[in-house]
Chains A and B, each alone.
Chain A
């Protein structure tokens, strides 16, 4: 139990669906992250938020839309996804966005796009 929760844990969606992934951290952190882990590939950083402002968008397609309404919550809105977007989506948080601060990861959402 890391203090970072993600819902849902599993999601199956069609290519025309719209869904959202939710992440919540109970650690009082100010920075939150979305990572993608495809099968047999390293984790890839997608987005970074610091104090609710996006500080990094790692060339992610626009069909992925992040939202950070406050420092405890992070969403990833999904629409018109492709089968190759099937992956484990991980959320993380850290005390600040400074490189000194450790990241705590949630358990991930396993996404399958049909």
Chain B
């Protein structure tokens, strides 16, 4: 799986949009971009994933550049409960590849009042 690079930390004001960048310059054509987050002392939580089109769900939006070498996770209206470590993971998805998630260091996001 391709390696990802994320900033170690970022702050965000409550109610504002949080834009979390991720670089994955060695991504292959069949690799998806996944985002998970981990609130302190809890297990990771799936947020969103995509291949090349932008994706949106009730939690966030995922913007993937046209060359797929980077992506941005957008939390549209950050709340204090969004304070967590956010992980960007790139992985191949095939029917016979079991779901190995390779976590990096992630980005510590702190949402402030």
Contact B103 A102 (CB under 8 A): no
Question: What residues make up the interface of A, taking CB atoms closer than 8 Å to B?
Answer: 2, 4, 31, 33, 42-43, 45, 48, 50, 55-56, 88, 90-92, 94, 97-108, 110
Contact A90 B101 (CB under 8 A): no
**Residue among B41, B45, B99 facing the most chain A CB atoms (10 A cut-off):** B99
Residues of B within 8 A of A101 (CB): 99
User: Out of B42, B93, B97, B99, which one reaches A103, CB within 8 Å?
Assistant: B99
Contact A94 B99 (CB under 8 A): yes
Residues of B within 8 A of A2 (CB): 43, 45
Instruction: Give 11 CB contacts A-B under 8 Å.
Output: A42-B106, A43-B101, A45-B100, A56-B98, A88-B41, A98-B94, A98-B95, A102-B46, A103-B46, A103-B99, A106-B43
Residues of A within 8 A of B105 (CB): 42
CB distance from A3 to the nearest CB of B (A): 11
Residues of A within 8 A of B106 (CB): 42
User: Out of A4, A42, A88, A97, which one reaches B103, CB within 8 Å?
Assistant: A42
Contact A56 B44 (CB under 8 A): no
Question: B100 — nearest CB in chain A belongs to which residue?
Answer: A45
CB distance from A98 to the nearest CB of B (A): 5
